[in-house]
Amino acid sequence: MAAWLTGLVWLALTNNPVALQSVDLAWVPPPSAGLRVPAMTRLATDRGLIRKPWCSFGRHAQRTSSAANGPDVLFRKLSPGVRTALNEIHEAILNPGDYSARAAAEARFAELVQTVDGPALIRTTLMDTDARVQLMALKAARLIVARQPRLAAFATGYLGAGDPQLSIAALDLHFASGCDTAAQYALDGFRHPDEGVQLTTLRLVYAYSRDHENLRLADRIGEFVAQGKGTPRARVVALRILGRLGVSATSNYVEALLNDKQDAVAAEALATLAILQPGAAEKLLGKWLKDKSPLKRAGALRAFAQVHASRRDLAEKILRPMLNEATPVVDVYGVGAAPGKTLGEVAHAALDYIEMP
């Protein structure tokens, strides 16, 4: 029964389409015309602040390697039986013609990982030279990494792997460890040339920044966008995340993208700046509302709703004449360019937000 349940857990991890999909966009927050940022994130603006403590590799190593606990489990000598099983698993994984045997081997490996030999088994297997074996080890490590977070340290080299699947599995492992040390290493995913790896990094950083109130990671998102790293789609998503987190200390990074060559990125930067620093965004509205780019005008309408949320009189004057504007706002990167398909619809959304009680 235990082996059967372990096999089910293994299949859930390995066949999760979200975890392995190159470009997963379902999690991306939709574009807004006006956004009420939670008070918690508005107040938590000190750069480097972590309001909920995470573990550290050093403290965990001290605790698990004390005299009372015996030798370090990561460097435990594998028993002959486990070594024999590992050799058999290795042979099955490298046999491309027998899928059922490979699946059984992966499930068997996942079961072994949860024994006393598990941490050392993962460490040993991650040193294998075959990418298929490495991927199996990275996925299986997730089963125990919360209890043995230092396993993530042995996966750091895979963050920049040429195979995006290896990088994504390593990223997932790092964040599953619950250690801020691992999460800082995982930010190397921003530098990966594959867009799927960049977006996976953003998804994980967003979730952990929000759930752990870890603003250090949000600050690193800001560094990422300000340096012009990532594809245009990844930069749009990163900016939207900064807006949702509401960390005003990152506004200087956002301002750096107001002049991005891609209109969709620049428009998202203005909409985000309106959330983080309304005064700075307000100075740009007059010019951007008249810009020749529909995307930039849509970004200005979103920013207008944020900056002038209490000015119904001004909204009537500026937005009402635009309600029938049929110019399309093209969603270039598939993450939503604005809350509407035309400038008129975006103006409607902005006016609706301003008129909300």
Give pairs for 165-168: CB < 8 Å, separation 24+: 165/20, 165/135, 166/131, 166/134, 166/135, 166/138, 167/192, 167/194, 167/197, 167/200, 168/19, 168/20, 168/196, 168/197, 168/200
The whole-number pLDDT of residue 20 equals 34
Residue of 141, 177, 147, 148 lying closest to 185 (CA atoms):
177
Q: What are the beta bridge partners of residue 179?
A: 55
How many degrees, rounded to 5, is the angle at CA 79 between CA 77 and CA 84? 125
Distances from the Cα of 13 to the Cα of 63, 70, 137, 211, angstroms: 29, 31, 12, 21
Residue 97 burial by Cβ neighbours in a 10 Å radius (0-12, 13-18, 19+): exposed
Distances from the Cα of 263 to the Cα of 80, 235, 260, angstroms: 61, 12, 7
pLDDT per position in the chain (357 positions), as tens?
444 444 434 433 333 333 334 567 888 888 887 777 654 344 343 334 444 445 655 555 555 554 444 567 888 889 899 999 999 999 999 987 778 888 999 999 999 999 999 999 999 999 999 999 999 999 999 999 988 888 988 898 898 888 999 999 999 999 888 877 777 777 788 889 999 999 999 998 888 888 777 777 778 888 888 887 889 999 999 999 999 888 888 888 999 999 999 999 999 999 999 999 999 999 999 999 999 999 999 999 999 999 998 888 888 898 888 999 999 999 999 999 889 999 999 999 999 888 765
Q: What is the pTM of this model?
A: 0.81
How many degrees, rounded to 5, is the angle at CA 93 between CA 186 and CA 160? 20
**Using CA of residue 112, residue 116, residue 119, residue 120, what is the dihedral sign?**
negative
Tokens of 6: 């372990």
Domains and CATH numbers, the chain: 1-28+60-212 (1.25.10), 31-50+215-357 (no CATH)
CA distance 338 to 214: 28
CA distance 261 to 193: 19
Helix, strand, or coil (residue 79): coil
How many degrees, rounded to 5, is the angle at CA 47 between CA 46 and CA 50? 80
DSSP 227-295: TT-S-HHHHHHHHHHHHHHT-GGGHHHHHTTTT-SSHHHHHHHHHHHHHH-HHHHHHHHHHHTT-S-HH
CA distance 62 to 11: 34
Give the chain's radius of gyration (CA, Å). Answer: 24
CA distance 309 to 351: 9
* First-to-last C-alpha distance (Å) of the chain: 57
CA distance 252 to 256: 7
CA distance 228 to 11: 38
**Phi, psi at residue 55, to the nearest 5°?**
-80, 170
